[in-house]
Every structure is written in C-alpha cells, then in structure tokens.
A and B are shown apart, each in its own frame.
Chain A
Amino acid sequence: MKRSLPARKKATGKNAVPAALFEHVFKSMGGGLLILNGKGECLLANDVALVLLGKKRSNLINQPLSKFIPSTQNVSFQSIKRGRVQTLNGSHGQTVFLHATRLAGGYYLVSLAHQGGPSTSSKLWSFGKSTMALPEFFPLPGVEDEPNYRTLFQHSPYGTAVVQDERLVVANPMFCKLLGYRASDEVLGKEIRRFLDEGSRMFFTVLEQRAFRGETIPSRFETRMLRENGTSIDVEMTISMTAHHDVPALILSVNDITDRKELERRLTDSEGLLRNVVNSMVDALVITDLQGKVLDVNDEFERFTGYSRREAFGTEIPYPWVPEEDLRSYIGWLDKLRENNLLRDFDITWLRKNGDRIAVSLNTTLLRNSAGDPVLMVNIARDITERQISRTELSRQLQRLQVLYDLSRALTETFDTEEIARITYKQIEKVIPVDAFFIDLYDERKNIIHPIFIVDVVNGERREFDVRSSVMELDDTMATASVIRGRKPLLELRPEIPSQIRYTPFGNETQATASLMYVPMFSKDRTIGVLSAQSYTVDQYSQDHLTLLQSIANVVGIAIEKANLYQETILKSQEIEARNKELDDFTYVVSHDLKEPLISVEGYAKMLRHEYLQLLDESGREYLQSVVDSCAHMKRLIDELLQLSRVTKLAEKKVPLQLSTVLRDVLEELRFSIRERRISVVVHHPLPEVPAVDTHIKIVFRNLLSNAIKFSRTANPTIEVGAEVQAEGTRVFIRDNGIGIEPEYFDKIFMIFQRLHKRDEFEGSGAGLTIVKKIVEAHGGRIWVDSKPGEGSTFYFIIPNA
C-alpha cells in the first residue's frame, strides 16, 4: 500500500508522529466519518459513524453503500457524489446529517453528524429550524495518495488534537482554524490550558484526571475555548485516551457550536419576556413555526375562539378554527409569505369551538432573528363582525408587536438597568411620539424614588440627564406617587402647555409638557417603578397609547427585576465566598497565635519538672502535672481547629479509595483502646470503593470510631461498621450500643465545641464531629445520626459517587 510521502518522511524524525496514532485519533473523533472509494464502497469508518449507523465495522468495510444504508432511507451513492446535504434516520431514531467531499484520487470523505445536545425542538419557542450546522471540511491541496489515517486527520472537519503532559503534541488544521491560528506550529508545544476559557479549565482538569484514571467521562460535553485573538468560542468536545510514544495521551476532538449556543441562549432568555408581549395584545394572536404548527396563542385568542391554549398548542394545518371551505384560500394566503414579509387584511371566516362563525380580518407577518432569517409566523386576527377597524390601525398593531418583540429580545442581552432604560427609550420612539421620557425605580422599604434615565427634548434638542446616584423621597403630590400607590396607568391631558418654567429635582430647567402618560412597572405583585412618556403636543396620546406603554412597561419591569436579581446573586455569592475564606483564615491565624504562648507554658513546665522536681512536695508535683495535662489538652484543641480550617483549604485530589483498607488502618491505630474496653468490632464486608481524599476519610473514621469507643458502656460493647451503594452515593454507617444521644441533640453534636458531657466524664475537644461534618460536606456528601438514649447511636454518612 502506498503511503503519503510526508508521513513517511516525518516518521523518521525525532518528534515523529507514528501512523498508528492517527488511526487511533481518527477512530475516536467526535463526529462520524466514512471513506468511500469511487465505487461507493466503504474503506474506512470511525467509531462514531458505526454508532450512528448502528453497524459493526465488519458490516461496513469493503461493502457498497447500498448494503448498509437501506434504500428506504433515500440516500444513494449518486446523491452523495453530488455533495448535497442529506438526512437519514440514525440507529436510535435521531436525524443524521450526511455530507460528502471529494478527496483527490477519487475518494469521498463522508461526514455524519447528528443534532447534538438536548433538542431545542422541545421548547415552546423553537425556531423551527435545525440547530445543527454541518461541519466544514478543511481543504488540503495536493494529496494524491490513497487516503490513510494521516490524510483523514488533516482533512477532518472536526478540530482534533493530541495532548500529552498538558501540552499539544499533534493538532490538525481545523483545530488551529477553530482557535484562530494559521498553522499548527503556532499551537504545538503549548499548554492546553491556555486554549481553554478560564471557566472551563477546572472542568477540563477534572475530566482529564478521570480519563487518566480510566474512569468514565461524558462522551461529549460542551465547553468554551480561547481563540488567538482573546475571544472565546463554544465547542462540543470529546475526550478519549491514547498513547503517544508509549506515554498516555488524550485525544481532543472539538466541534464549533457557537451558533447553536447563541440560539439556545436567546430561546431561553426570551421565553418569559415574549409570553408577556403576546398576552398584552388586544387582538387574537396565533404564533406558529414556519410549517404552520401552533407554538402559542394569547389570552384573547382563547376568549375569541373558545379554544384553550392547551388545545391550540401543537395543532397543524388544517386548524379546527379554519372552516374546510376556506382552507384552500388560507393556505394560498400563507404561501404568499414566501415573497412578502407582511400580509395584510385577509378576510376569512373562523369557526368558534361552539360552532359559531365569526368574520375576522387576518394580518400575517414573519418574525426574523438577528441574522435576518425568518423564524416564526404570526397571525393576528381581529373580529370584524363586532367592530369595524381601520386597516391602518391593524398594521400599526403589527408594528407594535415587532417593537415589543425587538425590545424583549434586546433586553435579554443586558443586566444593566441604565442600558435597559436606553434600549426601551429607543424602541418607544418608534411607536409613540415622545418629547420627554423617564424611568424611575421605587424602593418600597425606604419610600424613595431612584431615577435611572431621563430624556428631555427642548426646541428639538435632545438632552439626557445624568441621574446616577440621585434619589428623592416619594412625595404624594407627585404624579408618580399616585401611579405607584394606585398601581394603575395614568393619562393626563392638559388643554395647553403650562406657561411657567419648571425645575427638575436636579436643578435643570425644563419645560412643562401638555400630554403625559405614566405607567407602573411590576415584578410579581410589587410595584418596582414608573415609566413615563410625555409630549408638548396637546392631546397627543390616547387610551391606546397608554395600553401600549403599559405593555412595554410590563416587559421592562421583568428585565429590570432580572437585572437586579442577577447583580444580587453575583454579589451574594462573592460575599459568601469571601466570608468563608475570611473565617478559615481567621481560624488559622488565631489557632496559630494560640500555639506560641502554649509552647512557652509547656516548655517552662518541662524545665520545672527537670530542674526543680525535687523542690516540690506531693501537691506541687500534682499541680505541675495538671499544667502539663492542660497543655496537652489545649494543644489538641488547637490542632483540631487548625485541621478544621484546612479541610476547605486543601484542594487535594480525590482518588478511588478502598474503604476496607482505610478502616483497617484506623482500627489498627485504635486497637489499644478497643482492647482495653473489650469492644467487639464487627465489619460487614465487602466495603465498596469511594472517590475521596485518603487522609480526610481517615479522620472521619478515626473520629467516629473514637466517639463510639468513648461512649461505649461496660456490658457487651459492640461497634458495627458497614456500607452500601445507593443512588446518591455510598452510605456508610458506624453503629454502637453505647450511651446514646437525646434526639434534641442530633443537630447540635455537629456544631463546634458542643459537648454533651462534662470533661471529666468523657475526654474530647468538641471539634471532632464538626471536622467530620465539614469533611463529608467537602466531598459533596452529608452526615446524620440516629440514636436512642441507653441503646446506642448510629452515624450515617454518604460519599457521592464520582
């Protein structure tokens, strides 16, 4: 078999990449790949392709395409050769996209991709369009040989690289291209960490360690990588193990999913806001995907037709509310949408659920995403049997809907309240004549108003006031106050512009307006502020304007509340983190400082004993012994405090731990006290393996067993230890038949320095169980106790599976 020249030449070099590695890399790429020869016979297939097609390798290799793709799937070698994107049903019913590129030498590289991740089509606001972007092939000129694994690797539409000792040792052109580099020289030898988004590094490290330990890792996961220009990119990554020059290495296969992520983000964010927009419409509204499947209707539709939202959802043409005789013309109407963005005033009859007929005027429009692609179809129906509406009015409604839609979409992209206000103003300008505009936020607790945005147009000149950090008390004479308290919109129309010049609360001169609208903004049932639009023109606004403004305010209210929540969450989590760290640092410093004088006391006591013991009488010696004992006790306390402060500090690695070994070691340490008290210890074997930090789990067993020993009674003392694997993780129990604990102390015993007994009854510092709890929680688990006084206690703890 011929091999491509570069491969052989490089293979003799010092840093040669052996052909076997490419074979391995090819087989574990994140997407399916097939190589067909000119006759349509399959020469090579990787693992993902086998899974997608549900075939064994032996069923594919050297077989013609018609043998392994049934003719019912409508995919033929002829169509593949033409290079069109085709779809077929995968082995698990998923849609598989298939696309081929012609390689030099008459071979075809066929890539198979399926819709990754949870399908967005389950979302109400599906954009109806496939979210899968087919990967792009990387062209490499001049490879004339029979395809081998190296050329496949170079041609692969999936960015693929091999990582060894944290560094990239092999990378294909697509990998470099995804990350914005021109050639692989620019990335080889560099640490993989520098290509990972900061937030993804930890995640990657965890997966990497698990892969090296041979543990299972998600077959594909989403993460973010850093590009050469500093921006980051959403990718879907597959990790698998290989060896390079006999040293274990990782194969990374990455696929650009930026578009899909962006779409998903928009979908989730805009859902809540859109719902609000839709319901604020005064006309019946039906939203469908581009095929006409109903995705949502509004409240007015329910009232108007008698069909509930649940009944309407998911229905397809023919809709039950379109009578049979009108169906043909209705479909013809929708067809016109292919040429026109907006269709107006189609008179049609609708059937109510109760059989009544109503004459409606239908306006239909396409909503487009930011890329300009149509994503949704919106039908607005107005009852023309009840009232005659001017046609311009209807198109105005449509324009308003677009504004509300644009607004809610724009607002999902910011968490800054001032920015929210600015965007709102821009959108309002499009549908309402406005000379003055402001948004005030209301703080109910302090009864103050905090303006976030004020715009005033005087003599055609627009002025924006700097209102940051200004606040005013809510005064009942203000129009704002009545809107906030009354929770209702307010329309004030003055017969003429009031003549006197007024001053804003910030000392700016302003002209009074003639037409004023104020609408409240709500979050759940609280009033969070007021939005106002005003005009110098007399009788500028109608009740209709006020309704529209209220619709806008409803959207803005949610956006502002979301922004506030977001800021609050960020602040709070930072605060908690800082406080925990502070507390640990404090504990560390205090316990360390306590140690210093203790060393002195202990030292002097030692000196006394050595040099002056003869001078002391019996009680003097006793006192001295007490000093030494107290020092030892205090040292134990301090050491436990230190230990406690370090449980969260030590970011040690969790490893698979044999509980039986840990338990054996600890029992060995405690054998004297066990023998002394004649305790029989029963261990229920087998004990499973848990992912944990060795030294920490030892502390857990040591403390729990010491407790069980300490609180044992004289008659037949027994301690039982066992574990079982549950859904939540491994549950370990340590049971004694000792003195037991009153239920009211079940929680208290885990609090620091909580002792239930006098010191001379049972020795101990009181920090032991606190440390145990902190360790178990640091492993993501939990601990609790079950006990009956006089009968014994059972401590349970759960260590989650990795």
Chain B
Amino acid sequence: MADHRSALSIVLIDDNHDHARILQWAFQQNGSRNRITYFDDGKSALDFLNSPACDEQGRPDLIFLDLNLPRIDGREVLRRLKGEENTVGIPVIIISSSDREEDVRKAYELGASSYVSKSVILQEFGSVVKTFQEYWSTIAKLPPRK
C-alpha cells in the first residue's frame, strides 16, 4: 500500500539539461517507481498539460518548476497553471537556484505550493524528494471542479 502510494507521476520543467538530469536522478533515488515527464521550456510543458494526451495518461501528481525559463518565464508558467481549471489543483514546487526574497515571495503569491533551493535539493536530495513524495501522496489535493 505504501509503495503504491509513493509512486508519483511527476512533471519536471527546467531548461538546464544538467540540472534536469541530476534532479531526475535524485527523484529515482528512493527506489520508487516515480514516472517523470521532462520539458525544457514552459511552452511545451503547458501545451502538454492542456492536451487530451495528458488527460488520457492521467494528470501528474506534482510539478517541479524552475523559474528561469526561456520564452515563457517560470513565473508566467506558474500563473497560467494556477489560472487553468485543468491544472489549478496540481501542487507546483518551485526549484530555483535563487534564494532571493523577492523571488520566493513572488512564487508563493502566484500560488506555488513550495519553494526549494536547488542546492538544498542536491545537499539533501534523498530526504527532500522523499519528503515531498510522502507529503503529496498523503495530503488531500484541491479536487477538480465538477
């Protein structure tokens, strides 16, 4: 049961391929069967999340979003995710290399569920990812509007 619960479908959006690769690796570290869908820009991630294909395979449980993205900036991606009926209920966790106060504040104002510095993930990646996984697989999320 616990195993079943902890396998999450995760969308990762980060334009830095190195970071993405390391984070994906970190997500797999718990021996879990997390399914990770990766995008390196905001536009294609939004297209996917609003597509019928996404509906078919089931909405992701968690979105990990970098703020520093080309074309559509991470903040704008977050704003749109929180503005769409389809995606408003999915917890968005901001992963950023900045821990500047303004960035953190802005992210929470736009509706981010958490904000975590990339270097923290790397330092403690096992426990951080595990914490998120356990938290968001247990906690009740915003149900879709009927």
Counting chain B CB atoms within 10 Å of each CB, the highest count among A595, A599, A602, A610 belongs to: A599
Tell me whether A604 is interfacial, beta carbon within 8 Å.
Answer: yes
Tell me whether A352 is interfacial, beta carbon within 8 Å.
Answer: no
Question: A370 CB to closest chain B CB, in angstroms?
Answer: 51
> Which residues of B are found within 8 Å of A606, using beta-carbon distances?
22, 122, 125
**Is B97 in contact with A603, judged by CB distance below 8 angstroms?**
no
Assembled-state Cα–Cα distance A597/B122 (Å): 13
**Is A595 in contact with B97, judged by CB distance below 8 angstroms?**
yes
B22 touches which one: A592, A600, A635 (CB < 8 A)?
A600
B119 touches which one: A592, A604, A607, A635 (CB < 8 A)?
A635
Question: A598 CB to closest chain B CB, in angstroms?
Answer: 8
**Is A603 in contact with B16, judged by CB distance below 8 angstroms?**
no
Question: A643 CB to closest chain B CB, in angstroms?
Answer: 11
> Which residues of A are found within 8 Å of B119, using beta-carbon distances?
595, 599, 602, 635
Assembled-state Cα–Cα distance A596/B14 (Å): 12
Give the residues from 45 to 99 in chain B that come closer than 8 angstroms, CB to CB, to chain A: 97-98
> Which residues of A are found within 8 Å of B122, using beta-carbon distances?
599, 602-603, 606
- Which applies to chain B's interface (DSSP): helix, strand, loop or mixed? helix
- Least CB separation from A596: chain B residue: B97
Tell me whether B130 is interfacial, beta carbon within 8 Å.
Answer: no
Assembled-state Cα–Cα distance A607/B97 (Å): 19
Assembled-state Cα–Cα distance A606/B26 (Å): 10
**Is A603 in contact with B98, judged by CB distance below 8 angstroms?**
no
> Which residues of A are found within 8 Å of B29, using beta-carbon distances?
610
Assembled-state Cα–Cα distance A635/B25 (Å): 22
- Least CB separation from A592: chain B residue: B98
> Which residues of A are found within 8 Å of B118, using beta-carbon distances?
599
Tell me whether B3 is interfacial, beta carbon within 8 Å.
Answer: no
- Which applies to chain A's interface (DSSP): helix, strand, loop or mixed? helix
- Least CB separation from A594: chain B residue: B97
Assembled-state Cα–Cα distance A596/B97 (Å): 6
**Is A592 in contact with B97, judged by CB distance below 8 angstroms?**
yes
Contact code string A634-674 (vs B, CB < 8 Å = 1, else 0): 01000000000000000000000000000000000000000
With A604-B22, A607-B22 as contacts: A599 and B125 at CB distance below 8 Å: no
Assembled-state Cα–Cα distance A592/B16 (Å): 14
Tell me whether B109 is interfacial, beta carbon within 8 Å.
Answer: no
Chain A interface residue number, banded:
10 to 19
Give the residues from 3 to 19 in chain B that come closer than 8 angstroms, CB to CB, to chain A: 16, 18-19
Question: B15 CB to closest chain A CB, in angstroms?
Answer: 10
Assembled-state Cα–Cα distance A606/B29 (Å): 12
With A592-B98, A595-B97 as contacts: A600 and B125 at CB distance below 8 Å: no
Give the residues from 619 to 646 in chain A that come closer than 8 angstroms, CB to CB, to chain B: 635
User: Please, how many residues of chain B have a CB less than 8 angstroms from a CB on the other chain?
Assistant: 13
Contact code string B20-43 (vs A, CB < 8 Å = 1, else 0): 001101000100000000000000
Question: A446 CB to closest chain B CB, in angstroms?
Answer: 47
Assembled-state Cα–Cα distance A596/B98 (Å): 9
Contact code string A573-609 (vs B, CB < 8 Å = 1, else 0): 0000000000000000000100111011011101100
Question: B95 CB to closest chain A CB, in angstroms?
Answer: 10
Assembled-state Cα–Cα distance A610/B118 (Å): 18
With A602-B119, A603-B122 as contacts: A596 and B16 at CB distance below 8 Å: yes
Question: B55 CB to closest chain A CB, in angstroms?
Answer: 33
> Which residues of B are found within 8 Å of A596, using beta-carbon distances?
16, 19, 97
Assembled-state Cα–Cα distance A603/B123 (Å): 9
Question: A587 CB to closest chain B CB, in angstroms?
Answer: 13
> Which residues of A are found within 8 Å of B16, using beta-carbon distances?
596, 600
> Which residues of A are found within 8 Å of B19, using beta-carbon distances?
596, 599-600, 603
Assembled-state Cα–Cα distance A606/B16 (Å): 17
> Which residues of B are found within 8 Å of A602, using beta-carbon distances?
119, 122
Question: B12 CB to closest chain A CB, in angstroms?
Answer: 14
> Which residues of B are found within 8 Å of A604, using beta-carbon distances?
18, 22
Assembled-state Cα–Cα distance A232/B118 (Å): 51
> Which residues of B are found within 8 Å of A600, using beta-carbon distances?
16, 18-19, 22
Question: A459 CB to closest chain B CB, in angstroms?
Answer: 68
Assembled-state Cα–Cα distance A607/B22 (Å): 7
> Which residues of A are found within 8 Å of B97, using beta-carbon distances?
592, 595-596, 599
> Which residues of A are found within 8 Å of B125, using beta-carbon distances?
606
Assembled-state Cα–Cα distance A596/B18 (Å): 10
Assembled-state Cα–Cα distance A603/B25 (Å): 10
Assembled-state Cα–Cα distance A95/B25 (Å): 83
> Which residues of A are found within 8 Å of B23, using beta-carbon distances?
603
> Which residues of A are found within 8 Å of B98, using beta-carbon distances?
592, 595
Question: B68 CB to closest chain A CB, in angstroms?
Answer: 8
Contact code string B93-118 (vs A, CB < 8 Å = 1, else 0): 00001100000000000000000001
Question: A595 CB to closest chain B CB, in angstroms?
Answer: 5
Closest 9 CB pairs of A and B: A603-B22, A600-B18, A595-B97, A599-B118, A603-B122, A602-B122, A596-B97, A599-B97, A607-B25
Given contacts A599-B97, A603-B18, A610-B29, 20 further A-B contacts (CB under 8 A): A592-B98, A595-B97, A596-B97, A597-B18, A599-B19, A599-B22, A599-B118, A599-B119, A599-B122, A600-B18, A600-B19, A600-B22, A602-B122, A603-B19, A604-B22, A606-B22, A606-B122, A606-B125, A607-B22, A635-B119
25 CB-based A-B contacts, threshold 8 Å = A592-B97, A592-B98, A595-B97, A595-B98, A595-B119, A597-B18, A599-B97, A599-B118, A599-B119, A599-B122, A600-B19, A600-B22, A602-B119, A602-B122, A603-B18, A603-B19, A603-B22, A603-B122, A604-B22, A606-B22, A606-B122, A606-B125, A607-B22, A607-B25, A610-B29
